[in-house]
Amino acid sequence: MPELPEVEGLAAFLRDHAVGRVVARIDVAAFNVLKTFDPPTTALHGLEVTGADRHGKWLDLDVDGLHLVFHLSKAGWLRWSDRLNPTPLRPGKGPIALRVVLDDGSGFDLTEAGTRKRLAVHVVRDPTSVPQIASLGPDPLDDGFDRAAFGALLAGKRTQIKGLLRDQSVLAGVGNAYSDEVLHAAKLSPYALAGSLSEQQVDELYSALEAILRDAVAQAAGRPAAELKDAKRSGMRVHGRAGQLCPVCGDTVREVSFADSALQYCPTCQTGGKPLADRRMSRLLK
């Protein structure tokens, strides 16, 4: 799933390539992805793209005051083309859900792989009218999000820190991959309770969160949309690397699997050398 750094990279790419162009047309090939009907997508035709922004993991294309807002979910992606096929898309079973064609023939497709279709597209006058955007917590890269603000989010929470970092109503933009990376850098168990962390642990967690996200955003900057996924994977130390050696201590990276996701961690760096139990146990194995 694209997370804050990749979505920021996509927003920057659209600012460079789409802003200033006029929307020629929008083709909807999978009607289930469109979550709004007023304004219709045709209301964007003939309007200039005036901005591209990010709200957590949501992308926001400002089209002369109307907003094409979309969430790529787990298996969605934005595929840019300098020259799209001029033939309009027809509804079908292919991976393309929606196409935005610009006046110079360039544009992008929103695609989604797999059978669990969760990609969501909204056309709205105000992005905050999308409930999931209105309920977002603070953005960890906002200037006002300092150590004190982060500590206030954790205080008194009897929630495992892994889940809290991923909760979009608590913190916007961090998902499964970067929460693994942040916890590894901070040397914290994903099962540690947020409210039980010491002041030093909160300091280290905040520093890791800021450093990893800012470094990933910097790595994504200026990359074509097609390269962002590989850049994300290549920068991971533990996420997606179960069975490989931890680059910090040399221990084997372990995994805990859930119904529709998994987390990865290093026992030596994060859990005192002990492997974690599965979610049903939610504790360290003896």
* pLDDT score at 278: 64
Per residue in 71-126, pLDDT tens?
999 889 999 999 998 888 888 778 899 999 999 999 999 999 876 778 999 999 99
Asked whether residue 127 falls in the same domain as residue 152, the answer is no
- Three-state DSSP state, 48: strand
Q: Which domain holds residue 229?
A: 147-270
Q: What total of structural domains would you count in the chain?
A: 2
* pLDDT score at 5: 96
Mean local confidence (pLDDT), 259-276: 93
Rounded distance between C-alpha atoms, residue 258 and residue 10, angstroms: 29
Count the neighbouring beta carbons within 10 Å of the beta carbon of residue 68.
Answer: 22
Q: What angle do CA 34, 39, 40 make, to 5 degrees?
A: 55
Choosing from 101, 134, 167, the residue where a domain stops is: 134
Chain centroid offset of residue 36 CA: 22
Asked whether residue 159 falls in the same domain as residue 252, the answer is yes
Mean local confidence (pLDDT), 8-32: 96
Percentage of the chain modeled with pLDDT above 90: 83
Please name the helix (run of DSSP H) or strand (run of DSSP E) that holds residue 122, with its range, or none: strand 120-124
| CATH number of the domain where residue 241 is located | 1.10.8.50
| CATH number of the domain where residue 63 is located | 3.20.190.10
Asked whether residue 128 falls in the same domain as residue 46, the answer is yes
Report the predicted TM-score, pTM, of the whole model to 2 decimal places. 0.92
Structure tokens at 262: 């998994």
* pLDDT score at 268: 98
